[in-house]
A and B are shown apart, each in its own frame.
Chain A
Amino acid sequence: AQTVTQSQPEMSVQEAETVTLSCTYDTSENNYYLFWYKQPPSRQMILVIRQEAYKQQNATENRFSVNFQKAAKSFSLKISDSQLGDTAMYFCAFNDNTDKLIFGTGTRLQVFP
């Protein structure tokens, strides 16, 4: 069974600095998708970034980028120029072309001034 592990329950970063959130996963599939979702205190889950496993190039979305290491089954999220609005729970998620996402347990990120 596929699993997603986030080993950092909490992280903190100063505004304007860079922070990296870690995620590892386990699967025997070759084609799959990986995601980072953000859940602010409002509870609404928002897609941050998405990576297709068949693409070697790491995905980027403005200040957000990933380091996808397929052989190591690692998928970390880097947030550059952190902003106060980045404070939230961040979930790593996996999809193997089925209809469901498998989420990790999340990392609580606090950005302080």
Chain B
Amino acid sequence: DAGVTQSPTHLIKTRGQQVTLRCSPKSGHDTVSWYQQALGQGPQFIFQYYEEEERQRGNFPDRFSGHQFPNYSSELNVNALLLGDSALYLCASSSGLAGSIGELFFGEGSRLTVL
């Protein structure tokens, strides 16, 4: 049973560029959440997708956008990259609505470095 898979694992971009990160949820899961984890910090919630729609959003600017596909996979897009966007981006999947709170399965993350 494949867990949550993310790609790429590492990438380097320059300021002003755009980046797309991808996530495939655990088999049987239909909800995908994205978190940003800066070095030495805990993860911070970016947004969550369910039924191809953004259900909730954290305190992140509009430069951060996402998408969920019919097969439940998801993309995180960041435009106009800033040095401060350098972080580990974690994807987490879960199943359904209430009742699965916190039962998130995380991927290994995509390490983004902005130069």
Contact = CB atoms under 8 A, between A and B. Distances in A.
Given A33-B102, A44-B107, A99 B33 contact: yes
Contacts of B106: 44-46
A26 to B, nearest CB: 15
Contact of B43 (A46, A47, A99, A103): A103
Contact of A98 (B42, B56, B103): B56
B44 interface: yes
Nearest to B107: A44
Contacts, number: 59
Given A91-B43, A105-B40, A106-B42, A100 B56 contact: yes
A91 B90 contact: no
Given A98-B56, A100-B33, A47 B45 contact: no
A4 B106 CA distance: 20
Given A43-B88, A44-B108, A103 B42 contact: yes
B20 to A, nearest CB: 20
Given A42-B108, A45-B90, A45-B92, A103 B44 contact: yes
Nearest to B9: A43
B68 interface: no
A62 interface: no
B109 A47 contact: no
B48 A93 contact: no
B55 interface: yes
Contacts of A98: 56
Contact of B45 (A35, A46, A102, A104): A102
A104 B43 CA distance: 8
A11 interface: no
Given A45-B90, A98-B56, A93 B101 contact: no
Interface string B74-115: 000000000000001010100000100111101111000000
Interface string B22-43: 0000000001010100001111
B103 A47 contact: yes
